Structure 1
Amino acid sequence: MKPLLPPVFVNGIEISPERIAAEAQNHPAPKAKPGLAWKAAARALAIRELMLQEARARGLSPDPVEIAPGQVETHDEALIRQLSDMAITPAPAADEAALRRIYDAHPDRFRAPSLYEAAHILFPRQNDMARVRAHVDAVLAQLRENPRRFAELARSHSACSSRDNGGVLGQLAQGDTVPEFEAGMDALREGQISDPVETRFGLHLIRLDARARGDVLPFGAVLPRLRDAHAKAAWARAAAQFTADLVAKSSIEGVQLQAA
């Protein structure tokens, strides 16, 4: 039987289970699958060790810099930054014509934020979610029979402070709510009431009162964002390739790094 926390070795250097367990606190995972956090932490520490070994092999000496007022890099952070600056070379920046082609091919990606007017009834999460869902279904049945009762039922059943205003949330912009709630609004016609929408807060019945879709922004307005996104993507690809090259020439035990 394999041990629950197998040792991880990077070119013969051990990364202890204790270090991995501490790092795992920085890697969220479902409560039912804590092993995913451990694996993510093990991969992160293994890649960090690979980078540090490569930096030392190249004869780099740490030269920490201040990264925020009163906050200076550690020696390890400085080595990794210096190695990245030296070894990771992204592809040249895209010219304006190439970025224009991206803009013309996907204009809907470059709209101003949409605005919504909506109301909701929130049923918070509880240990007995089957009971919560039964409650939601009962309220929804009443709304299907008489949608005009939305404000009344919000005052009686909603766990959100908006219940005092009949569930009305006022004007919302894209990004003002969690993604699942926004997707629920996007799926509705004006005046329509949703089926139950689940978010981390619980279950919602949403009524969309109005929606104003944002206009497509002119190319000149989005060009700086396109340049920035292209540069970040190019750097990420180059960093991934550099990491893959390090993994390919190294001996890694206890964790799989191919996907990293």
Structure 2
Amino acid sequence: MNKPLFPDIVVNGEPITQVAIASEAQNHAAPKGKPGLAWRKAARALVMRSLLLQEAKRVNQQAEPKELSPGKVETPEEAVIRALLEARVEVEPPREQAVRKAYDAAPNRFRAPSLYEPAHILFAADPADAAARSDALKRAQAVLEVLKTQPDRFASLARNESDCPSRDAGGQLGQISPGDTVPEFEAALEKLNPGELALEPVESRYGIHILRLDAKATGELLPFEAVQGQIVEMLEKVAWARGARHFGDELVARAEISGIDMGKFPAS
């Protein structure tokens, strides 16, 4: 008989099946070629879930499932775990001194959204179509080589080559702010200085872009009073996460767990 690749896991006499772990592992990222890492992450998550449900049963925790978003409602087990954590993890509101300290430590985090004025030439290609993607990249590279020596041709090349309606405006997109476009496009914009052309094609879910940043207006620093509530919420979330980890550690410490070492593998 072949020995299983991973050991059986038992939590206070309750087994966690290999099938359950394999299913959960799909929700956990791992470096390519290291599936065992995803397995261990999944196993730890299921061990903690089992401990929470066992504790909820022990104290007869009751809860009604809540609607998380339109059309999505908690499962009964999710509701019980949420209620248990709400009952057992207490978070005191942060003092104003701590809130002010968080603001003063990195005030640049609290700025109004920046405004960008980009122009682009889009070579549309579905990410799932490898052939179209390759062709779009070749076309973009050819046009980009022209622009590196003749940047004044951007508008005319946009009108002739771009698959975006902005071609009628020479590729100009007008003013945009974070959240107006896809993250990969915004990440490329953030690396450019005003007046700069990206020297490499930019890939996004829509295709391949040639990107130029015409202007940027950095958002103004927001005063402490304007973001105080936001910082309070941030600190409360951090404190709650710390409290939840401590509660989980207590459950692990008094549990009988075999098949995995909950103390040596990082939880994240």
Same topology, TM > 0.5: yes
**1:238 aligned residue (231, 237, 243):** 243
Q: Which residue of 2 aligns with 1:86?
A: 87
| SS of structure 1 residue aligned to 2:192 | coil
TM-fit CA distance, 1:216: 0.8
Q: Would the aligned equivalents of 2:21 and 2:39 in 1 still touch at CA under 8 Å? A: yes
Answering whether residue 134 of structure 2 is matched by residue 127 of structure 1, we say: no
Structure 1 gaps, min length 5 = none
Cα RMSD (Å): 3.2
Cα pair 2:118 2:172 within 8 Å, conserved: yes
1:259 corresponds to which residue?
Answer: 266
C-alpha deviation, 1:236, in angstroms: 0.7
Q: 1:199, 1:218 → 2: CA distance?
A: 35
Following superposition of structure 1 onto structure 2, how do residues 127-206 of structure 1 map, counting pairs within 5 Å?
Answer: 127=130, 132-196=136-200, 197-206=202-211
What percentage of residue pairs aligned between the two structures are identical? 47
**Structure 2 Cα separation of the partners of residues 200 and 2 of structure 1:** 43
Q: How far apart are the structure 1 equivalents of 2:218 and 2:25? A: 41
SS state of the match for residue 173, structure 2? strand
- TM-score (structure 1 length as normaliser): 0.81
CA distance in 2, matches of 1:74, 1:22: 17
Aligned length: 256
What TM-score results when the alignment is normalised by the length of structure 2? Answer: 0.79
**Structure 1 94/252 Cα, relative in aligned 2: closer, same or farther at 3 Å?**
same
Q: Post-superposition shift, 1:106?
A: 1.6
Q: Matches of 2:259 and 2:12 in 1, distance apart?
A: 12
Q: Which moved more, 1:67-76 or 1:102-111?
A: 67-76
Would the aligned equivalents of 2:10 and 2:16 in 1 still touch at CA under 8 Å? yes
**Deviates further, 40-49 or 204-213:** 40-49
Q: For residues 28 and 155 of structure 1, what CA distance do their matches in structure 2 show?
A: 44
Q: 1:2 to 1:133 in 2, by over 3 A?
A: farther
1:27-106 correspondence runs (5 A): 27=27, 29=29, 35=35, 38-56=39-57, 59-68=58-67, 74-90=75-91, 92-106=92-106
Work out the CA distance in 2 between the residues paired with 1:61 and 1:208. 59
Q: 156-165 or 201-210: which moved more?
A: 156-165
State the one-letter code of the partner of 2:246: Q
Contact 1:115/1:172 (<8 A) preserved: yes
CA contact (8 A) 1:65 1:72 kept: no
Is structure 2 residue 220 aligned with structure 1 residue 221?
no
CA distance in structure 2 between the partners assigned to 1:216 and 1:39 by the alignment: 43
Cα contact 2:64–2:79 (8 A) shared by 1: yes
Task: Give the SS at the match of 1:190.
Answer: coil
Query: Residue 2 and residue 223 in structure 1: after superposition, are their counterparts in 2 closer, same or farther (change >3 A)?
Result: farther
Q: How many Å separate the matches in 2 of 1:31 and 1:127?
A: 23
